[in-house]
């Protein structure tokens, strides 16, 4: 399903009007369509901390959680943790899984709600590290320099190394993880890489000292955001259970009421390789194997036919694993969009529906929206699909 959208079509509020399809239980399908249609972002809690590609809209996560009110929620492709943050804000017990160590780091920082004392220590440690980094004249060790040296001005490399060397000496594990997340959040911005999702080189002059100062600014920003989240998380809500794990092999100790997730859309990103700068500086996670990635864009460059059938097979595997993780009567809710490839669109609705049926789930409702993809001058269908475990 793919065609050019009417880009100039507007509804009475002036928002773009998209073509939509609603199926199944009408009241539920209507809720799904509203969740999927959120467009404008109003920043809240920790969502804006650290970039992460293809993040779900926080309002979509909030609305979908509200539509399925069971206690335990799993996101097996948690990425930057949008679902996890909203689930904590709603007082749910939350499990996050992803194949990427960057996703783990970002999700952890975005879902943490430290005490005031811990945040004071975090801010003062960040201030101390900033001062040390401004004075650092050493370059990073050879492996980092060889792999990442070309992406930074020399004084930026020195400041980054000053920060990382100090972070590595922090003994308190939670504090060190917070500081690593802050360090990670500035790594691309101070590099000559255009963005997380574009490896184009764009050289810029960054005055000496400003890399370290940016780190300090981000530390204070994260503390403010975590306080905003802490204010809404009901007391007694457990911390998120996070682990680096292949979604096709997800196994939890007890059943969950809801799996709410957005898997990789086919052929859109190479999630692991595009984080290469962060993986060079901060290392890789155990089990973080790019070959295990689902739907990666690079698979389509080799053979479109194989990539399509691999996507369908992987969808069947992770859907079956999630179905096993659900309690009877629990729901699987998937937000997914079709792939746009040089060999034509990749339909995700058919493969997702076949996977759910094979996993023994029953179809409840769906909403589909045809959205413009400006980069490809085209349009893709995005879906929210809901199944129940009988």
Ligand X SMILES: C[S@@+](CC[C@H](N)C(=O)[O-])C[C@H]1O[C@@H](n2cnc3c(N)ncnc32)[C@H](O)[C@@H]1O
**Shortest Å distance, C-beta 185 to ligand X:** 14
Among positions 2, 82, 93, 211, the unique one binding ligand X when judged by CB under 6 A: 82
C-alpha angle 203/181/105, rounded to 5°?
115
Question: Does position 56 bind ligand X by CB under 6 A?
Answer: yes
The sign of the dihedral angle between the CA atoms of 98, 102, 103, 108 is: positive
Q: Which is nearer to ligand X, 268 or 365 (CB)?
A: 268
Question: Does position 337 bind ligand X by CB under 6 A?
Answer: no
Q: Using CA atoms, how far apart are residues 339 and 287, in angstroms rounded to an integer?
A: 27
Q: Using CA atoms, how far apart are residues 296 and 185, in angstroms rounded to an integer?
A: 23
Name the residue among 85, 81, 78, 45 with its Cα closest to residue 223: 45
Q: How many Cα atoms sit within 13 Å of 345 on the Cβ side? A: 18
Q: Which is nearer to ligand X, 53 or 209 (CB)?
A: 53
Interacting stretch for ligand X, rule CB under 6 A, among 98-106, 229-237, 324-332, 376-384? 98-106
In contact, 76 and 259? CB cutoff 8 Å: yes
**Shortest Å distance, C-beta 64 to ligand X:** 11
Question: Does position 70 bind ligand X by CB under 6 A?
Answer: no
Q: Using CA atoms, how far apart are residues 151 and 134, in angstroms rounded to an integer?
A: 19
Task: Tell me the backbone φ, ψ of residue 319, rounded to 5 degrees.
Answer: -65, -40
Q: Restricting to residues 281-310, which ones interact with ligand X according to CB under 6 A?
A: 292-294
Among positions 32, 65, 68, 80, the unique one binding ligand X when judged by CB under 6 A: 80
Q: Which is nearer to ligand X, 161 or 311 (CB)?
A: 311
Among positions 246, 257, 270, 338, the unique one binding ligand X when judged by CB under 6 A: 246
**Shortest Å distance, C-beta 256 to ligand X:** 16
Task: Tell me the backbone φ, ψ of residue 142, rounded to 5 degrees.
Answer: -50, -45
In eight-state DSSP terms, residue 326 is E
Count, residues near ligand X per rule CB under 6 A: 22
**Shortest Å distance, C-beta 114 to ligand X:** 21
Compute the CA torsion angle 280, 285, 286, 292 (nearest 10 deg).
Answer: -90
**Shortest Å distance, C-beta 60 to ligand X:** 9
**Shortest Å distance, C-beta 247 to ligand X:** 4
Q: Using CA atoms, how far apart are residues 65 and 325, in angstroms rounded to an integer?
A: 17
Q: How far is CA 353 from the centre of its chain?
A: 23
Q: Which is nearer to ligand X, 5 or 79 (CB)?
A: 79
Q: How many Cα atoms sit within 13 Å of 275 on the Cβ side? A: 28
Name the residue among 30, 7, 10, 8 with its Cα closest to residue 20: 30
Question: Does position 320 bind ligand X by CB under 6 A?
Answer: no
Interacting stretch for ligand X, rule CB under 6 A, among 53-61, 144-152, 167-175, 209-217? 53-61
**Shortest Å distance, C-beta 197 to ligand X:** 12
**Shortest Å distance, C-beta 57 to ligand X:** 8
Question: Does position 98 bind ligand X by CB under 6 A?
Answer: yes
Interacting stretch for ligand X, rule CB under 6 A, among 32-40, 159-167, 243-251, 355-363? 243-251
**Shortest Å distance, C-beta 152 to ligand X:** 25
Q: Using CA atoms, how far apart are residues 229 and 234, in angstroms rounded to an integer?
A: 10
Binding site for ligand X (CB under 6 A): 52, 54-56, 77, 79-80, 82, 98-100, 103, 246-248, 262-264, 271, 292-294
């Amino acid at each position: 399903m793919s065609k050019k959208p009417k880009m100039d079509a507007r509804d009475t509020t002036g928002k773009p009007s998209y073509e939509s399809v609603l199926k199944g239980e009408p009241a539920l399908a209507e809720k799904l369509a509203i969740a999927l249609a959120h467009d404008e972002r109003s920043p809240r809690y920790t969502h804006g901390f650290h970039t992460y590609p293809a993040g779900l809209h926080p309002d979509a996560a909030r609305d979908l959680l509200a539509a399925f009110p069971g206690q335990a929620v799993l996101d097996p492709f948690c990425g930057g943790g949008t679902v996890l943050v909203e689930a904590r804000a709603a007082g749910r017990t939350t499990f996050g899984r992803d194949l990427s160590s960057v996703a783990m780091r970002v999700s952890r920082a975005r879902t943490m709600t430290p005490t005031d004392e811990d945040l004071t220590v975090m801010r003062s440690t960040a201030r101390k590290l900033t001062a040390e980094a401004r004075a650092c004249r050493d370059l990073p060790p050879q492996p980092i320099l060889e792999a990442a040296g070309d992406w930074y001005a020399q004084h930026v490399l020195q400041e980054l190394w000053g920060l990382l060397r100090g972070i590595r000496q922090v003994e308190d594990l939670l504090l060190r993880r917070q500081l690593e997340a802050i360090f990670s959040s500035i790594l691309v911005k101070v590099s000559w890489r255009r963005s997380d999702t574009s490896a184009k080189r764009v050289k810029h002059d960054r005055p000496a000292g400003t890399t370290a100062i940016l780190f300090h600014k981000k530390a204070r920003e994260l503390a403010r955001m975590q306080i905003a989240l802490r204010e809404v998380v009901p007391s007694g809500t457990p911390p998120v259970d996070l682990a680096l794990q292949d979604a096709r092999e997800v196994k939890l100790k007890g059943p969950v009421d809801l799996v709410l997730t957005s898997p990789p859309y086919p052929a859109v990103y190479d999630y692991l390789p595009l984080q290469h700068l962060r993986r060079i500086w901060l290392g890789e996670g155990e089990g973080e194997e790019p070959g295990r990635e689902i739907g990666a864009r690079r698979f389509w460059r080799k053979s479109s036919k194989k990539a399509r059938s691999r996507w369908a097979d992987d969808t069947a595997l992770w859907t079956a694993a999630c179905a096993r993780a659900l309690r009877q009567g629990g729901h699987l809710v998937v937000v997914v969009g079709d792939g746009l490839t040089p060999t034509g669109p990749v339909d995700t609705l058919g493969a997702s529906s076949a996977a759910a049926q094979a996993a023994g789930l029953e179809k409840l409702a769906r909403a589909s929206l045809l959205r413009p993809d400006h980069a490809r001058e085209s349009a893709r269908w995005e879906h929210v699909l809901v199944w129940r475990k009988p």
